[in-house]
Amino acid sequence: MYESEQVWRDVDRYFVDMLVAEDRALAAARRSSAETTMPQTEVAANQGKLLALLVGMVGARRVLEFGTLAGYSTIWLARAVGRGGTVTTLEREVQNAAVARRNLERAGVADRVEVIVGPAQESAEQLIRVGADPFDLVFIDADKPNNLAYLRATMELTRPGAVIVIDNVVRNGAVLAEDSADPRVHGVRTVMAEIAADDRLDATTLQTVGLKGWDGFTLAHRLG
Ligand code: DHB
Ligand code: MG
């Protein structure tokens, strides 16, 4: 019983009920993920809360997100940066960006979020070209094959002190498949190797179980 996915879900629900207030705007954003190209891939409520806590703990004012989808995590981030803060979020699909903008309006944070539509790598390169002010926290949660490109762009768009979170790095243990033909696994393994080799970055990865099954995230601190 204690190893079943049903128990993982029930435990998530218990802690979410105890500690994580998901208001109507967040609940609506979660439901609307069904209207996106990737239903139900938004973060769980307790993971959204973790992002918000990190923003608060480091006092992040400028947040960058790779992968908007319906804007569920974007709402958590945008609320956490507060009125003076901003979130820039990159979304490839026009349809998803439209869903996200409605959700951000409903949540009352549309004025502090910029949704940039297009391939995230191109959008990030454009931010680098125009000399965007450095971001304090970056959440990488877009197409997994491009994780390495997103990390490299992140290093151009941040300064020492920045916090970087990378979602979905475990995927039911698929990460162990060294010679995997799956470009998503390759995307995780190459970004891990880059982090390990870059002495500007200090990092750890935690596995998670819960409403989203068995997965995990990497948390990195830019030191230099
Ligand atoms: C997938 C992507 C995500 O960001 C996620 O949280 C879960 C699944 C996917 O590509 O299937
Ligand atoms: Mg994800």
Q: Which two tokens stand for residue 102?
A: 């409605």
Helices (H) and strands (E) in the chain, counts: 8, 7
Using CA positions, which residue lies closest to atom 9 of ligand 1? 41
Nearest protein Cα to ligand 1, atom 11: 41
The rounded Cα 139 to chain-centroid distance in angstroms is 4
- Nearest atom (ligand 1) to Cα of 184: 10
Per-residue pLDDT of the chain (224 residues; tens, 9 = 90+): 567 899 999 999 999 999 998 999 999 999 999 999 999 999 999 999 999 999 999 999 999 999 999 999 999 999 999 999 999 999 999 999 999 999 999 999 999 999 999 999 999 999 999 999 999 999 999 999 999 999 999 999 999 999 999 999 999 999 999 999 999 999 999 999 999 999 999 999 999 999 999 999 999 999 99
Q: Taking the CA atoms of the chain, what radius of gyration do you get in angstroms?
A: 17
Nearest in space to 64 (alpha carbons), one of 193, 165, 180: 165
Supply the pLDDT for residue 1.
52
> How remote is the CA of residue 150 from the centroid of ligand 1, in Å?
16
Q: Please give the distance, rounded to the nearest whole angstrom, from the Cα atom of residue 15 to the centre of ligand 2.
A: 20
**What is the pLDDT at residue 97?**
98
Give the binding-site residues of ligand 1, using a 6 Å CB cut-off: 41, 141, 167-168
Burial of 129 (0-12, 13-18, 19+ CB in 10 A): exposed
Q: Whose CA is nearest to atom 5 of ligand 1?
A: 41
Protein residues near ligand 2, an ion, with CB under 5 A? 141, 167-168
Q: Whose CA is nearest to atom 3 of ligand 1?
A: 41
Angle between helices 45-58 and 5-19 (to 10 degrees): 50
d(CA 113, ligand 1 centre) in Å: 22
- CA dist 8 and 156 (Å) reads 38
Give the per-residue pLDDT at 2: 62
With 0-12 CB in 10 A as exposed, 13-18 as middle and 19+ as buried, what is 194?
middle
Cα–ligand 1 centroid distance for 180 (angstroms): 18
